[in-house]
Each structure stands twice: as structure tokens, then as C-alpha cells.
Amino acid sequence: MKNKQGNYFTREWYVYASLIIISLLIISKLFYLQILNASELKARGATFRMNSQTMVFERGMIVDAQGNILAKSVPAKDIYADPKTLAKYISNSSEKPSNEEITKRIQEIADSIALILEKNNKDILELISKDLSWVSLARQVDIDKANRIRELNIPGIGFTDTYKRVYPTANMAASILGIVNLAGDGVEGIEYFYNSELKGEKEFKSQGNPEKNMTNQDLSSGYNLNLTLDSTIQHLVEQELDKIIEECQPQRAVILAMDPMSGKILGMGSRPTFDPNSYTNSKPGERKNLAISMIYEPGSTFKIITGAAALEESVVTPKQLFNDPGYLIAGSRRITNWDSDRKAHGDISFAKGMELSSNVVLAKVGALLGKETFYTYLKSFGFGSKTKIDIAGEEQGLLIEKNRIKDLELATMSFGQANLVTPIQLLTAISAVANGGNLLQPYILDRITNKDGEILMLNEPKVVREVISKTTSTIMTGILVDVVDKGTGGRAKIPGIKVAGKTGTGQKIEPETGAYSATDFVASFVAYAPAESPKIAVLIALDTPKGELIQGGTLAGPHVKKIIESALQYYGIPVSASTPSKLNNLNSETIPGNNQTKPVSPEKKPEKGEVAVPNLTGLTMRQVGEVLGKLDLRYKFIGSGLAHQQFPDAGKVVNKGDSIEVFFSSEDNTSQRKED
Amino acid sequence: MIRKHGEIDTALLGIIIILLVIGIIMTYSSSAVKGYLYYDDPYHYFKAELVWVALGLVALTIAMRLEWRFLYKWAKPILYIALLLLVLVKIPGIGKTVNGATRWIGVGPLSIQPSEVIKLAMVLMMARFLSANPYKIKSFRKGIIPSLALLGVVCALIMLQPDLGTTLVVVATVFFMLIAVGANLWHIAGLGIAGLGLVAAAIIAAPYRMSRIFAFLDPWADPLGKGYQTIQSLLALGPGGLFGLGLGQSRQKFLYLPENHTDFIFAMIGEELGFVGASLVVLLFFLFIWRGFKIAIHAPNTFLSLLAVGLTSLIGIQAMINMGVVTGVLPVTGITLPFLSYGGTSLLFTMIGAGLLLNISGIAGKSEEVI
């Protein structure tokens, strides 16, 4: 039936009736809640808010392979004020105080709070003078500071429990760990990648008992992460980065160390860097993890890939001769050997070409390989796609499109220009050359544990695919050992150890012109050792270093050497017959002073929240970390080897959470021990 | 496709604007603490809300000026696109997961919730289908069954998101449209009983569902778990009393009540503006729905009339469900309060719906020219 307007809507009273009923229902429920039942809800609200303070959440810890704490959450307080209550209290406190007295009193309160919080007293005064019932005075304040404010007994000042994320090692590994925002969520790095694990939100089946569900067993804390990262290696990385910055002031620098046999990340560092304990002072650019996000043209280090592919396809043999007149015409461009000695070499073998880093020889090898096959190998080695390492912020690099590859591009690709890679991509690919031909999944998380130490998840090395044969791997490694022994990589030579390596100096594209810059380069070096069964693979890349000789071998070589040398000592591999290592038995329990730090007599009795600094002389980094960690002290490590100096000295009384600087040296300094 | 608008329903426009203004004020009041704590800026959410409202007004103006024949013609393609979006969002790498549910598609601020799109698309399609031959709906086989088939497909896809709240709104809206167009009331009643039967069967099959479904009736049984939001919401309303604690004086907004500026804005209104303020909001929605149905009655043809019924029901039912959740009458479903909840695509699509409703009111004003 049509209504008089000409449509079929004839049942308006049905909808009106249901509408009225629903509205009345809601209004009557409101009336019940807000008028009839209000007093009960008010009382319940007050107790509930008090109880709910215990609901704060402790985020899981991040520790390194040795168990050193890299990130943990410590209890802290948020401090707020109720200015209205405060004002009421002051004006009622004595017999009708004058306005001046009130102002003076509030000023005093602001001063005393500002003193403890180390904040500007004008800011505090402004906050507590507001006509509001709630203002936030400070967030995530240390417990002892909060207690000192509580002892002032100011009415209208309140505290809520919270946690504060602290990074005891300050800027060590900062870009890997990332940061956590005030809401308690990781927003960068591992903190972001494993946020739900650190918050304990993820479900895990118990390893021993698959029926037992691990969810929700402890709502107040998250799971702990154990990384493959090793503080000893990481310290070396950070220390060499600092030296590099001092020596040649590159815009950016990155060092990456991994175990080429397993894909485990051992160390990873970037410059610029930041202190995650005060990340709000840092710029996003400073927080970038360059090892996974810097994209650059790798230059000659990439010749390892070209060479490995050509050997695998049997288009060359190490002894095959190539004519190198010092230049090559490819397409429209003249390619020279500027990366090495810029000379004509005449007829040289492929292996010699690698040693001298001849662009001409490699361009000819690339031509023999052909664009189709070469491209297949690039993909197979993982270039142009993310390695899927478990850290947030990875870039995927950029491969030149296949149909754009002409003679010139094929030639430049062969010696590492034209394609963009990330350090993690390159080192993962080179690890495949090092380990007998398997491209591995790089990873940094070793295992996830719960509070009781029960292992919830254990990462195992994973082969992505076999990219070259064992034979090719052995031949290429032999060539790379010669590069270090006799060729451009000489600065990384370590007596008694076979080091396989390759230098690189990649040209950068000027953003304004789109052409290669004549002055800006990325100098780099990759190496692994011991060549026959590698323990560590290292990549160093310096973006736009300053100096006369901008070459990967010259600038990065010595640092690669230092890291490999110290790391092998740490792994107990004697590096040279002439210099017996004092670090060999680092892990044994026989070091003098070990585990029995001399009892120190503190300068005064430590009060609550304070602690006496122990004597650290003669301890290893790991031991120092443990000792200071137990005392809730932060630490900053300088050097490597055994501790021989510290600041503040042993016996000084400091606040918990203070930072102790410890100087390490591989020389035998135990004789100079201070006898406090 | 664009036309000049006639005399639109200014009362309805007035109601919408009052609701928006209350929404802006309450968003600032309830999100200042959160903005300060998380972004170091008390105005963080307020500024974003102003942008969303501005965008919403643009969307409303455009929807108000659309030619209705265009909507009639495009009802099917729009539905197909909406269904496609619902499927796309579930493909890994395309959809974005927020709070454990994958309901978003797009990049950054350009993200939309496909379940918002399907609401409008479904109303449009049902209006077109039912108006093509209004008598068909009297027949169970030719009218009710096809309607239910379409509804079933759409609801199954929405439940995949998963989004129980939106499913409820869509089902209720379609039933209102069926009733309005004159479906046999015995059919409707029969479907209602069949629905209840299904729920009963599900409970008998797994009795633990009973406690889960009715947990909201006694939130205090699990105050830190399932009952948390409901309790925090009730604890906000209680102290509000008759006139409220005053603007900006909410205590529950200090992070006790999650989603306080989105799904639970009505609790903030109850706490700061009291019974009087909250009842005023209920009244405003009552008036909105009343004007909406008035427009439906005066619409010049059945398609527009049904479209008006659908749009009004969509917004009205969502409002009633949200207020029901906040007052503890319904379980927590996670849907926003139209016009009042903090921004997002939800506000944008509500404004499009309201714009279409105003559009229809304008056509009704000059009915003789149109038909």
C-alpha cells in the first residue's frame, strides 16, 4: 500500500515505538547509575583506582649471548600534583595567611621539588599554581628521588607506579635495541620487532610439556630475549667505530660482524649514534641502524660475488689470463682501474685481477658470465630483497632492472656499481662464499625465556638455499686469502692466521647531478677468518670519509684486523706464535682477583638508594658487567681486555643507577692495581 | 551527477552540528591527558579531531549534493567494491592489524575500515533491491530469501574481520528496512525466533559460551579482565551524578578507562556533564532518528524512502548500541558513537550517511518536480 507521499513506507509507528522504548531504557539505566546507585559506584571507584595501581607492567629484559643485560625495566614513579588541593591546604594551614605568605609558601614547595627532580623551579611553580585538579610533574622518576619527594609530605602530590626502560650500556648497541615510548611500546629496533614477546602477549607452547599453554601465566611481566649479540665483540665494534670517527670523520660509519657458519649476528654498530636512556634528545637520523638500512653501491667488495658466480658457472678459472690495458670501453664509457693502482697490468690471471682489484678484469669476467646468468646469481645471493633479519627498519636495496642492463651496466655491475645493497645483504652473501656455499638466514634472537628461565622458543641456524658449491667456495676463499696476503687487503693481515678479505671503494651518486661524485665515496672492507673454517665475518663501511687516501683497504683495513684479531683471541684461537695472548683464558676462572673482588672499605656508610663502588681491577668485561649489574649501577666500557682503571674509584659511595666508567686494556696491568 | 539542493531539513542539520560540537569539546577534555602522556602535547588528539571534523563536513557537503539517480545506478558496483575491500583486508601484507584485529586497509592516515564502507553499500543495495518491486517482499521465497542470502554473505565477511558490533548494526538495519517496506510480520517474527533458536543451540553445544555472552551482566566477577572496560565505564558514570563533575574534571580519563575518547566518549560525557548532559545526548539521537524517519515518510519514491530508513537506522542503531555498551546494558562490542567519538574513518562515513539523508530531505521538499 502506498502512503500519500507515493512511497511504500507505511509502518512509521513501529519504528517510533521501538525508538522511544530504547531511548527510555538507556535514560533509565543512566538514572539508576548516576542518581540511585551513585554513592556505591563512587566508593567502589576510589578503592578500585587504588588497587589498580598494582596493574603496571614489567617489560621483559634483553640480554646478550653472555647474559649481560642490554635493556631492562626498573620500577619508577610518575609524579602528579593536585594544585587545587595544595592551594586549599596552604590557605587553611595557619591563621589566615596573607597573600604574600601563600605565594612564598608555594614558591618554597616548588623550589624543594625542583631541587630533587633537577628541574627548573619556575616550570614546577607554574605547574602547581594552575587552577586544575591534576597536573603531571614528572614521569618515570627514579624510586629514591620519588621517595625523597614523598618525605616532604606535601599535600596534593601523588605518585603512580610505573616502569622505566634503562639501557645499562648506554649507547652500546643502541641502534639495534631501539626505543620504547612512554606508553610502554617498542617503536624502533628489537624493542619494536619483538614488542609482543617483550610484553608477554604472544602464546608459546611449553617446550617440555606441549599441553601447557604459556599464555597469561604471569600478567605483570613479559618474556626475556637472549640475543646472539656478544658484548665482547660489540665492544670491539663500538671501540673501532669511535676510532674511525676520530681518524677520518665519515658522515656515517657501520660495522657488522656475524658468524658466517650460522648467520648469528655477533656485533652491529652505527655512527652517528645516541643514548637510548635519553632518546628524546636524539634525532631519528641518529637512531638509524645502518647495518640493515644504509643502501650504497658496494664497489669492489662486490667482486667476490661476481667472481664466485663466474667460478661456479665455470666461465673462468683462477689462472685464466685476461688482458688489462688499464681501461675498457663498455658501451659509451671508458672504465678505468682507479680503485686500485690505476695502472695497466698487461696479461694477468683472474686471481691476480682480484688481488689487484682490477675493474677491467672483472668487467670482462662479468661479460663472460652474461646478463641473464649474472642476474640469476644476484637474486640467488639475496640482493634486491630483504634478508628478513629480526630487527625493525631493514631496507631492501635496489637491483637495476634486468631490461635496462646493457654492456655498460653489465660491466659496472661486475665491479660493484649500479646496484644498491645493504651491509647485512652483502655480508650474508659473502658468508655464503665463506661457509661452503650456503646462504643463511641472518638472525639476532637466540632464544625467548620466561621469568623462570624456561626456554619458550629457540632459534636455530637456517639455510635459505645453496648458492655455490663447496669447491667454488674453497677456490674463492683461496683467492681472497691472497688478496689480504699479497694484494690490496694487506692492512688486514694477521700473523699466523689466514684472513680472506676484499677492499672496496664505491662511488656515490651526487643527488644534485645524478652523476657519480669525484670526491664522495663509500670506503669498505669485508673479511672472514680463519679462512679454512671461519669464526667471524666482518664488514666495515665508511660513508664519505675525509682524508688523502680514500680507499677501503687503507681506511677500514686496520680496524677489520683489530676486530678479527681480538675476536679470535676471545674464541681461544692463537693468533700468532710470537705474541702469546693473555686473553686466551678469559673464560677460565683462574684470573687473579677473579670472583673475589677485594673487599673495599667504603668512604661512608651507603644510605638507602646508594651503593659503594667495588674494586673492578683485573676483571673481564663480562665479570664487571655482572658485578655492576647486581649493584644496579650502569657502566661505560672503554678499551678491551681486562679492567685496569675505573672512575669513580673503588670505595666511593654513589647513587644507584649512576654510571661507572671502566677502562680495559689487553696489557698486563694487574701489577698496577691500586690498593685502596 | 551533482545537483542544486532544495530545502534541506535544517532541524536535522542543527542536530548534527550540536552533536559535532559536543564531540569536539569532549574529545579535547577526555584525550588531553593521553595526548600529553603519549605525545607530550595535550592538544594532540584535539587538533586531529578538528581535521577529521573538517574532512567530515566536506564529505557531508558532497554527499548532500549527489544526484540520487547516480546512487541508484551505482548501488551494485559500490557493493562489489565494498565486498572486494572486505576480502582484500584479510590478505596478508594488505590489511593492517590494530588491537589484534585486521580491519584496516591503506597507508598511514589514508587508512579506511572496509566494514565502514560495507555499511553504506549494503543500505544502498537493499534500498535498490527492495524498491524495484516492493510487493515481492510479501513473498518469503522471492523477497525474504534473497535479502537474507545477501545479508548472510555480507555478515560472514564482516565477522571475518572480526567485527561483531558492525555485524549487529547491519543486521538490525536490514530488518528495519524489511519492516518498513512491508514484509510480512510473521516472517520477521519467525526469523527472530529462528535466530534465538540458533543462539540457544550454540549455547547447548558449548555451555561455556553462556558465561562469556552474559559476562557483561556481572562485570565485577572479573574486574581486571573481561569486566575491566565496563567497570571503568560505570565508575565514570556513577560519580557524575545529576550535573557531573564539570568540564575537564573527569578522573577516569587518567588512563583508567581505555578508549575513553573513542568508544567510551559517552562515559566521559556522563562523568563530566552528569545525568543531565548524558540524557541530552540520548535526546539528540532520538531527535535525529525521528527527523530521519520523517524524511523517509516524505520521500518522493520508495528507493529514497528506504535509503532514508536505512541510513537513519544505521546511525541510530549504532548510537543506541554504543550507549547501551557504556551503560552496561550490552556487552562491549567496540563500535563508536556517531558524531561524538574521536575522528577516524568512522566519523567520515557517518558524515557521508548524514549528508545523503539531508540530500533526500531536499528532494522531498520539491517532490512534485522529481517524479
- The secondary structure of B194-240 as a DSSP string is HHHHHHHHHHHH-THHHHHHHGGG-GGGSTTTTTHHHHHHHHHHHHH
pLDDT for A627 equals: 78
pLDDT for residue B98 is more than 60: no
User: For A5, which of B275, B298, B316 is closest by C-beta distance?
Assistant: B298
Confidence of residue B312 (pLDDT cuts 50, 70, 90): very high
- pLDDT recorded at residue B41: 74
**Furthest-apart CA atoms within chain A: distance in Å:** 109
- Asked if the C-beta of A21 comes within 8 angstroms of chain B's C-beta atoms, the answer is no
- How close, in Å, is residue A214 to chain B by CA atoms? 17
> What is the Cα gyration radius of chain B?
21
Residue A452 burial (10 A CB sphere; 0-12, 13-18, 19+):
exposed
The domain made up of A610-675 is a member of CATH 3.30.10.20: yes
**Separation of alpha carbons A211 and A224, rounded Å:** 22
Phi, psi (deg, nearest 5) at residue A342: 60, 30
Q: How far is B283 from chain A (nearest CA, A)?
A: 8
Residue type, A59: R
CB A632 within 8 A of CB A660: no
Residue listed under C-alpha cell 528496512? B177
Distance CA A521, CA A555 (A): 12
Of residues A38, A42, A49, nearest to B256 (C-beta): A49
Contact A181 B298 (CB under 8 A): no
Q: Closest residue of B to A47, CA-based?
A: B235
All three cell numbers of A577, joined, read 706464535
Q: What does the DSSP assignment read for A123-182?
A: HHHHHHTSSSS-EEEEEEEEHHHHHHHHHT--TTEEEEEEEEEE-TTTTTTHHHH--B-T
Q: Give the three-class secondary structure for B3.
A: coil
Cβ neighbors of A65 (< 8 A, separation 6 or more) are A226, A227, A228, A229, A230, A231, A446
The grid coordinates of residue B312 equal: 537513519
- Within-domain flag for B188: yes
What is the amino acid identity at position B77?
A: P
Closest residue of B to A50, CA-based?
B256
Residue B299, number of CB atoms within 10 A of its CB: 28
If pLDDT is split at 50, 70 and 90, which confidence band does B195 have?
A: confident
Q: Which domain covers residue B72, as residue numbers?
A: 10-362
Q: Is B363 helix (H, G, I), strand (E, B) or coil?
A: helix
Q: Which three cell numbers stand for residue A156?
A: 596534593
Size of interface A-B (CB pairs under 8 A): 143
Single out the residue of B289, B250, B201, B259 nearest to residue B45, CA to CA: B259
Partner-chain residue, chosen from B235, B242, B309, that has the shortest CB–CB distance to A9: B309
| pLDDT beyond 60 at A102 | yes
User: How many angstroms separate the CA of residue B244 from the nearest CA in chain A?
Assistant: 9
List chain A residues with CB under 8 Å of B251: 45, 49
Residue of A2, A23, A82 to mutate, testing the B interface (most B Cβ within 10 Å of its Cβ): A23
In whole angstroms, what is the distance from residue A362 CA to residue A93 CA? 88
Confirm if B356 and B8 have CB atoms less than 8 A apart.
Answer: no
SS (H, E, C) B15-77: HHHHHHHHHHHHHHHHHHHHHHHHHCCCCHHHHHHHHHHHHHHHHHHHHHHECHHHHHHHHHH
Reduced to 3 states, what is the DSSP secondary structure of residue A394? coil
Task: Give DSSP secondary structure letters for A559-572.
Answer: HHHHHHHHHHHHTT
Plot region of A397 (φ>0 → left; ψ -120 to 50 → alpha; else → beta) = left
pLDDT digits (tens, 9 = 90+) for A566-578: 999 888 887 754 4
Residues of chain A in contact with residue B254, where contact means CB-CB under 8 angstroms, are 134
Q: What CA–CA distance (Å, rounded) separates B147 from B122?
A: 11
The number of beta carbons lying within 10 Å of the beta carbon of residue A495 is 10
Do the Cβ atoms of A71 and A177 come closer than 8 Å?
Answer: yes
The stretch B286-313 carries a mean pLDDT of 90
Residues A552/A505, Cβ–Cβ less than 8 Å: yes
Residue of A nearest to B135 (CA): A1
Chain B interface includes A36 (CB < 8 A): no
Q: What residue in B sits closest to A16 (Cα-Cα)? A: B290
To the nearest whole Å, the CA of A35 is away from the closest chain B CA by 6
- Nearest Cα residue in chain A from B100: A201
Helix (H, G, I), strand (E, B) or coil at A304: helix
Q: Which amino acid is at A572?
A: G
Architecture of domain A69-166: Alpha-Beta Complex (3.90)
Q: What is the pLDDT of residue A646?
A: 83
Whether B23 is covered by a domain: the verdict is yes
| A428-437, A483-492, B195-204, B237-246: range with highest mean pLDDT | A428-437
Which position has the grid cell 660493484? A416
pLDDT tens, position by position, A191-241: 999 988 888 776 665 555 444 444 444 556 788 999 999 999 999 999 999
Residue ranges of E strands in A470-603: 500-509, 516-529, 536-543
B30-62 burial code (b ≥16 CB/10 A, e <16): bbbbbbbbbeeebebbbebbeebbeebeebbee
SS3 annotation, B170-199: HHHHHHHHHHHHCCCHHHHHHHHHHHHHHH
Q: Do B300 and A7 touch (CB under 8 A)?
A: yes
| Residue A578 and residue A619 in contact, taking contact as beta carbons nearer than 8 Å | no
Contact B290 A38 (CB under 8 A): no
Residues of A in contact with B38 (CB under 8 A): 181-183
Nearest chain B CA: its distance from A276 CA (Å):
17
Residue of B nearest to A45 (CA): B235
- What stretch of H or E contains B160? helix B145-160
Q: Å from A376 to nearest chain B CA?
A: 26
Which of A16, A19, A26 has the CB atom closest to B324's CB atom? Answer: A26
Tell me A23's DSSP state: H
In a domain, B4, yes or no: no
Neighbouring CB atoms inside 10 A of A628's CB total 24
Domain assignment present for B267? yes
A489 to chain B, minimum CA–CA distance in Å?
43
- Evaluate whether B314 touches B308 at the Cβ level (below 8 Å): no
Q: What rounded mean pLDDT belongs to chain B?
A: 80
| ipTM metric | 0.80
Q: Which residues of chain B have a CB within 8 Å of the CB of A37?
A: 238
Q: B37–A7: do the CB atoms touch at under 8 Å?
A: no
pLDDT at A79: 86
- H or E element, residue A350: helix A350-356
Q: Which residues of B touch A43 (CB under 8 A)?
A: none
- 3-state SS of chain A: helix, strand, coil percent to 5? 35, 25, 40
Which whole number is the average pLDDT over A591-616?
62
- Quick check: B238 and A5 CB within 8 A? no
Q: Cis omega before residue B223 (within 30°)?
A: no
Which has more confidence, A135 or A367? A367
Helix axes B265-298, B228-240, angle to 10 degrees: 90
What single-letter DSSP state applies at residue A458? Answer: E
CA distance A56 to chain B (A): 12
Does residue B371 fall inside a structural domain?
no
Total residues found in chain B within this entry: 371
Question: How close A138 comes to chain B (CA, Å)?
Answer: 10
Identify the pLDDT of residue A4: 53
Whether residue A123 lies within 8 A of chain B, CB to CB, comes out as no
User: Which pLDDT does position A17 carry in this prediction?
Assistant: 81
Q: A5 vs B254: CB contact, 8 Å cut-off?
A: no
**Which of B37, B220, B315 to probe by mutation at the A interface, max A CB count within 10 Å?**
B37
Query: Where does CATH 3.40.710.10 sit in chain A?
Result: 233-275+286-570
CATH number of A233-275+286-570: 3.40.710.10
How does pLDDT run across B218-262, given as a tens digit for each residue?
666 665 556 667 777 777 777 777 887 777 767 666 656 666 677
Q: CA A182, CA B44: separation in Å to the nearest integer?
A: 15
pLDDT value for B367: 44
Question: In whole angstroms, how far apart are CA A632 and each of A276, A609, A638?
Answer: 17, 10, 19
CB distance A26–B289 less than 8 Å? no
Chain B CB contacts of A218 under 8 Å are none
Candidates A379, A414, A413; CA nearest to A396 is A379
Q: A303-312 vs A371-380: helix axis angle to the nearest 10?
A: 110
Which amino acid belongs to residue B368? E
B-chain residues near A44 (CB < 8 A): 235, 238
Is A305 within 8 Å of A377 (Cβ atoms)?
Answer: yes
Count the domains in chain B.
Answer: 1
| C-alpha to C-alpha distance for A302 and A291, rounded to whole angstroms | 16
Q: Report the range out of A46-50, A142-146, B93-97, B365-369 with the highest average pLDDT.
A: A142-146
Model confidence at B335: pLDDT above 80: yes
What's the pLDDT score for residue A162? 82
Q: Is the pLDDT of residue B355 over 60?
A: yes
Look at B224 and A55 and tell me if their CB atoms are within 8 Å: yes
A38 with B282: Cβ contact below 8 A: no
Q: Is some CB atom of chain B closer than 8 A to the CB atom of A28?
A: no
Torsion of CA B100, B103, B106, B108, to 10 degrees: -40
Confidence check: pLDDT of A675 > 50: no
CA gap A194, A173 in Å, rounded = 16
Distance from CA of B115 to the nearest CA of A (A): 25
Contact A13, B308 (CB under 8 A): no
Q: Are A202 and A196 in contact (CB under 8 A)?
A: yes
Which residues of A are less than 8 Å from B290 in CB distance? 16, 19
The DSSP element (H or E) to which B210 belongs, if any, is helix B208-214
3-state secondary structure of A57: coil
CB contact under 8 A, B251 and A49: yes
Using an 8 Å CB-CB cutoff, list chain B residues near A38: 238-241
**B93 min Cα distance to partner chain A (Å):** 14
Q: Which residues in chain A have Cβ-Cβ distances shorter than 8 Å to B298?
A: 5
Rounded Cα distance between A44 and A42, Å, is 5
Which residues in chain B are contacts of A185 at CB distance < 8 A?
none
CB A591 within 8 A of CB A618: yes
Residue % of chain B over a pLDDT of 70: 78
Checking if the pLDDT of A589 tops 60, the result is no
- Please state, in angstroms and as integers, the Cα–Cα distance from residue A568 to each residue in A443, A642, B336, following that order: 21, 16, 61
Q: Are A37 and B238 an interchain contact pair (Cβ–Cβ within 8 Å)?
A: yes
How near does any CA of chain B get to the CA of A190, in Å?
Answer: 19
Across A45-49, A585-589, B210-214, B293-297, least confident range: A585-589
Asked if residues A558 and A568 have their Cβ atoms less than 8 Å apart, the reply is no
Across the interface, whether the CB atoms of A34 and B241 are under 8 A apart is answered yes
* pLDDT above 90 for A305: yes
Write down the pLDDT at residue A474. Answer: 93
Judge residue A125's burial from the number of C-beta atoms within 10 Å of its C-beta, 0-12 exposed, 13-18 middle, 19 or more buried: middle
Distance CA B260, CA B95 (A): 25
CA-based nearest residue in chain A for residue B304: A7
Whether residues A6 and B301 touch (CB distance < 8 A) is answered with yes
Instruction: Note whether B238 contacts A12, CB cutoff 8 Å.
Output: no
